[in-house]
Structure 1
């Protein structure tokens, strides 16, 4: 899952954000158990012939689970080489290097073959291109009946505190309710197979607490520069918002199947047959 980089206004900002997040097992909320749950909802089983692309894979949390659980061939894609290098290290330690091939690409210009994939995975990363654009443009890479599994920032209630809404809309204007995301999937040629909300531990234990533990060394490494301090302050603000308003927002995990358009049936003739 590729890290959120809304504050990366220049190369220095991007470099510092990568420095902060590259050491993490996750670059956004998630969990191994939740990846496995999505695999089950997708109806996927162990099959070395499966071809799966993990788009916005970050340092590889979901790619590693997919490879281990399914034995599939995983194409792990992220635009940040530092994240992919960390993924390769982790795959080597786990003995999964032969199943995972990394590619440094932008999700806006993917070098994938049409109708070549059994599944597309993207945990906490599709926001980089936008949910609707992503599900629409990535559909062509799936085989008929192929699976799309993505986690997406989602409102859990119809109304929410102004402070929370202002923050997330400024970061990701496409944030919406699950019903709205389901409608986007259906409109763009998918049938939803499953949906669930990431629990609090996916935010706190798996992402925010490890991130907080890296703040001190990050500031020390970068001499407590003004930019580094601003990055930490922004992350702390987001953490405080989540802790205060966690009942209103989370990531929703959406699992859907690519529909194959039905063939056009010939319109029955209304003319009577000619008599001899």
Structure 2
């Protein structure tokens, strides 16, 4: 499975447009220092690098194979294998985490990252949430079986505020952000010769999105410590 994902440029839903939105809301300048926490194979590093041409971008991921791929794609950037709870190279003007904050949990992530921010630093991240009060049973069952706890967008903002942050901006990731992940993943699965169970599960995830994707989505949040 690591080999399959190491071949992809993007390891989860997201796109350049949504990241640029977050950078704009956060007011990130050309000389900023930015951390990509859970950078995967480097899907967002290029946009971050372009946004801070006079600053620094640091990528961090727990999987060495992903870090190696990201470093090959962006040889001039500092990209390290490590723990998102203890990022290197701060303090940061912004910590960005696309779909990876669940590894720590929203509350813990915001709590530990506070000490790694500049006094005016921001955190921007995306997290899977329900878009409806009555999600379909098939979607509930799938994510529960996958070990993913999904709640509402309102609950997410409450978590952010309870962690001592102010929400500066919030929006949903659009359909193109999902397609930019699932499209290449489907192509990769066509040539995948590894565990058939892995391929079956990933195809089921894609099928679920096509059928019930309107009921859930990635909620983008930009926030700052109070």
Normalising by structure 1, what TM-score?
0.77
Rg comparison, structure with higher value: 1
Between 1 and 2, higher relative CO (CA 8 Å, sep ≥ 6) is seen in 2
Contact 2:33-2:52 within 8 A present in 1 as well: no
Matched, 1:176 2:151: yes
Unaligned 5+ residue runs, structure 2?
none
Aligned-residue CA RMSD (Å)? 1.5
Matched, 1:104 2:64: no
1:78 aligned onto 2:61: yes
Equivalent pair of 1:36/1:65 in contact (CA under 8 Å): yes
Q: Is the 8 A contact 1:77 1:103 kept in 2?
A: yes
* Structure 1: 4+ residue segments shifted above 2 A: 169-174
Post-superposition offset of 1:46: 1.5
Counterpart of 2:11 in 1: which secondary structure?
Answer: coil
Measured in 2, the distance between the counterparts of 1:174 and 1:138 equals 22
Structure 1 stretch displaced more, 124-133 or 169-178? 169-178
Give the structure with the higher percent strand.
2
**How far apart in 1 are the matches of 2:56 and 2:67?**
16
Equivalence for 2:212 = 245
Q: Of 214, 239, 242, which residue of structure 1 is paired with 2:188?
A: 214
Q: Aligned pair count?
A: 225
Does residue 22 of structure 2 align to residue 38 of structure 1?
yes
Given candidates 42, 55, 66, the residue that maps to 1:60 is: 42
For 1:52 and 1:162, how far apart are their aligned partners in 2?
Answer: 39
- C-alpha spacing 1:145/1:174, structure 2 compared with 1 (3 Å): farther
Of 169-178 and 51-60, more deviation after overlay is shown by: 169-178
Shift of 1:216: 2.9
| 3-state SS, counterpart of residue 246 of structure 1 | helix
Q: Partner residue of 1:120?
A: 95
Post-superposition shift, 1:172? 4.3
